[in-house]
Structure 1
């Protein structure tokens, strides 16, 4: 059904006063705002191009990448009908899906030279690491692409089309609604998503189906001063922290799953079986010499593991693992052509994952 946003101001005596729609020319300003601060739409995006020319004679309003290195096409509805906007963004998706890492780097350099008078020689990979605060850029860029229509609203037929493309055909298409509300001399910008972004995020890595899943789970372990790989080996866990998407990724791990763990920038370091669902670090316990103990009461190499993080979404979450075999970081397994992505937890259907697992079975000595 159509999305409608209404806001009321609470006045004295608990009376409610409905805020009215403002007169701001929203669509003419939104592109500027989003280009300057894409977190208005999503904190997980980074703009790499604006008015990007395609091979078909059109221009993409905004092109971004997410923290997985996947592309995000943003099309502002402007004068188009909602259904025309859907057709336009699908056309852009067909072009974007073929872009290589070199293509994206060229688009980014061209964009930064336009927005910075002094120009920029900074590569996309370096800018990506700085923006997302990671040590290494994605091993694979543009494995998936996401299509986003930016509009005040969609009509019911267009909502049905977007839902059909997403749910039936697995197209990662969504719409984000911005509206202006007025309260006396003040104006407020509101935002609402047509499809919950977390639902799209969870499914995004598996949208591009390439074959059956082999039943093996891929896990990234971000070794740092909060989560130390030697602690994970010794006490039996994998972990992630830093935001809601990381917590939800950890919650996808279930007892009985076999996981292959990779440390970004190093290689594969362990294989094991999940034995306990993810919980905040304060609630994680291990059994040593037949006695259950709280992890935070034990000797840890992670210098900041015990530091409290008040926000439950930002907190460190751990899932218990019975290790089958692990390697220290200096002996991590990294071979050319092995599978890798930026997701904390994923269930890859890429043929490269199948080949990688078969090779890892040989190296780790497991069946």
Structure 2
């Protein structure tokens, strides 16, 4: 008897199982993380003062308790927000971002540029190629600069860590002030005729007015299933952790040392609200440095516990993550030195203003 063969059977049940298993897995991880997060402070104190036997108030015991509590706390927050933003990014592409910003006025364009800078997966260095792509697509330089200011400072990691450590009011105010800084910066740059500061090869590139490829990737993104997007969320977590874990450990270790050994009087005097010059000095110290928000936030948390003012520490953080030497080197290939100085001045001055606002309100 002949048996008719119609090819391999469709694997629909397996696909359904996979698409069901991924959301359940994500939900279980989320519940586990919430449970662990709620017990971290208690566990850290038990570990440092009861298990290891350090006396309460000792320098080393305090440093160990800080590290044990904050390392998994920051890690959990980082994983959760990276997973969520990883899913959001499946709806975006560089082409789609350029399409959103193209054809807008300076004000609306700068506001949109500051907004799309939040979920876009670029640090201050890797945003430069996209910045050049914006210019090539006909997006005004001021709008593109607003994105460049917003992208590293008002990013999802900084907002999530601030939310988890200090509450939603601090995170929202930080995000709003950061976007205001980016929008105003973009509008200021637009008023100084920035085209004259472009390098000749960039000006020639813009003259070609190439808008090809703005719609590339749209169909591919829209064809993703919900299971695909969740899988991309898990992939984003793996990739981000691989790139920032050393910043995380290093920042928390330094924060633990500050918490355990730096005198309260010293921090209160030089980073408190007492002197008007604390904020600009903090910004000037932060501009030459560079680290991710993951590495900086544990440090500013330790300063705040020791008595530093919130505005001073956040101004320091903004200046650290907002500008980097590699970014400026790459930017110099695109724009001339005077515009780079203006860019640095806007980021630094905006950080000072944000610091004063926080110190005045909180």
TM-score range, shorter chain: under 0.3
In the superposition, the TM-score normalised over structure 1's length comes to 0.24
Which protein is richer in strand relative to its size? 1
By relative contact order (CA 8 Å, sep 6+), the higher-ranking structure is 2
In the superposition, the TM-score normalised over structure 2's length comes to 0.24
